[in-house]
Amino acid sequence: MNKAEVISDTQRFDVEAVRRDFPILQERVNGHPLVYLDNAATTQKPQVMIDAISHYYLHDNSNVHRGAHALAERATEKFEGARSTVAEFLNAPSRELILWTRGTTEGINLVANSWGRTQLQPGDRILVSAMEHHSNIVPWQMVAEATGAVVEAIPVDETGTLDIGAFEQMLDTRVKMVSVGHVSNALGTVNAVDDIIGLAHRAGAKVLIDGAQAIGHWNVDVQALDCDFYVFSAHKLFGPTGLGVLYGKRELLEAMPPYQGGGEMIESVSFEGTTYNQLPYKFEAGTPDIAGAIGLAAAIDYLKGIDREAAAAHERALLTYAVEKALATPGIRLVGTAANKVSVLSFLVEGTHPNDLGMLMDQQGVAVRTGHHCAQPIMDQYGIPGTVRASFSFYNTFEEVDRLFEALEKARKFFE
């Protein structure tokens, strides 16, 4: 399939119109037009999101809740409105089940510490996949050390596909938590989370889904998934850095103790004792990222104006085109070839180190990620130090895929 054939399948998506909404895509890097292919690390931001944050600081800047003046009321209305926007976006049954965090990492740490330290006992088992980001491994290792539980890895095969059969065999009454990524950041694999959740629940285990890499590619319905917890970061959803979302089922969140103490998470404080606030505020100590929440809501509103099915089809076409070019290029080894993937191309080039390639490609204005991608266990399994990772979003183009491989070819000549 050539580029013309691939493009014909995505004509209903106007990528050039979308690109005009993202000002940074007009940047030049080292004298070249920017080709941004590092979307798995963070997505770029539409102008409307930037404007929403700017408007808050220019016109509404105030702390939220309890304020008796106009700015506080406006800030609170937008801040809590953002929570409702996220709840609707995830199809959460209630806005009170949407907790603000600093990102996916803090969301997982919150569950590991608040749920894990009260529910886990010696001999209990926590299952994570072998392809997880460190943020979905280390917090569980820390709580396991504190409680006497153990962390075990669900096997992943050479294509980067989680072994569902092996997972089912691992399940028993000692498994209390299954925590897996919706999508692998290093490989692009889309995990069969519906099957994982169903099997885990039948065994009596709770399930946390790390949605950081999925949320920017398609709409997520937490009720349809029936997961116990779902976490993601705003900056992976075309929103700002420093903000994350944790969704949890009501009965679990109500039973969990606060993760941090301070202002906002209390109803009353005295030296005789403290009464904690209701959901969601019980888990939101201190001044929150007000501007970040407003920015995330603006990013979600922007996405509502896009045909996300057409955008997803465009991304799939980009990946198909990139994979075909990679397979036609001598010396390239693809890493992560699962049948169900998002638009991530992870690869090695014979005779070169990923970090060297990344620097040489940057000189040509092409931004990719190199290294182990905070997924060292899967890299160790494959016996490699890391990969070059090109990750696409709906604002990327087929011409940028061509630029990727042109830059790659020039970089390779440097080592000849």
CATH number at residue 79: 3.40.640.10
The verdict on 201 and 275 lying in the same domain is yes
C-alpha distances (whole Å) from 252 to each of 49, 141, 207, 255, 376 are 33, 21, 11, 5, 31
Q: Give just the sign of the alpha carbon dihedral 52, 57, 63, 67.
A: negative
20-45: per-residue pLDDT in tens? 999 999 999 999 999 999 999 999 99
Residues 311 and 297 in one domain: no
Which of 304, 332, 357 is a domain's end point? 304
Q: What is the pLDDT of residue 80?
A: 97
Residues 116 and 34 in one domain: no
**Which of these three, 284, 304, 324, is where a domain ends?**
304
Q: How confident is the model over 81-102, as pLDDT tens digits?
A: 999 999 999 999 999 999 999 9
SS3 of residue 248 by DSSP: strand
Of the residues 150, 266, 374, 384, which is catalytic?
A: 374
| The predicted structure's pLDDT at residue 169 | 98
- Domain count within the chain: 2
Domain boundary among 258, 278, 304: 304
Give the domain extent around 404. 3-44+307-414
| Same domain? 273 vs 131 | yes
Are 65 and 38 contained in the same domain? no
In the structure, what pLDDT confidence band is assigned to residue 413 with cuts at 50, 70 and 90?
confident
At 11 the pLDDT is 65
Is residue 143 located within the same domain as residue 8?
A: no
DSSP state of 263: S
Specify the length of the chain in residues: 416
Between CA 215 and CA 209 the distance in angstroms is 11
Query: How large is the average pLDDT for residues 389-404?
Result: 98
CB atoms within 10 A of CB 73: 14
Q: Let me know if 227 is a catalytic residue.
A: no
209 and 292 together in one domain: yes
- Same-domain status, 214 and 337: no
Q: Is the pLDDT of residue 128 over 80?
A: yes
Cα–Cα distance measured from residue 330 to residue 185, given in angstroms and rounded to the nearest whole number: 25
34 and 159: one domain? no
For the chain, give the mean pLDDT: 95
Query: Is pLDDT above 90 for 110?
Result: yes
CATH number at residue 404: 3.90.1150.10
Q: Same structural domain for residues 279 and 384? A: no
The Cα-based distances of 186 to 166, 248, 293, 361 in angstroms read 21, 26, 27, 19
Give residues with Cβ within 8 angstroms of 386, minimum separation 6.
354, 355, 370, 371, 372, 373, 379
Residue 12 has a pLDDT of 79
pLDDT of residue 4: 59
Instruction: Encode pLDDT of 312-361 as tens digits.
Output: 999 999 999 999 999 999 999 999 999 999 999 999 999 899 999 999 99
Q: Are residues 323 and 295 in the same domain?
A: no
Q: Are 361 and 242 found together in one domain? A: no
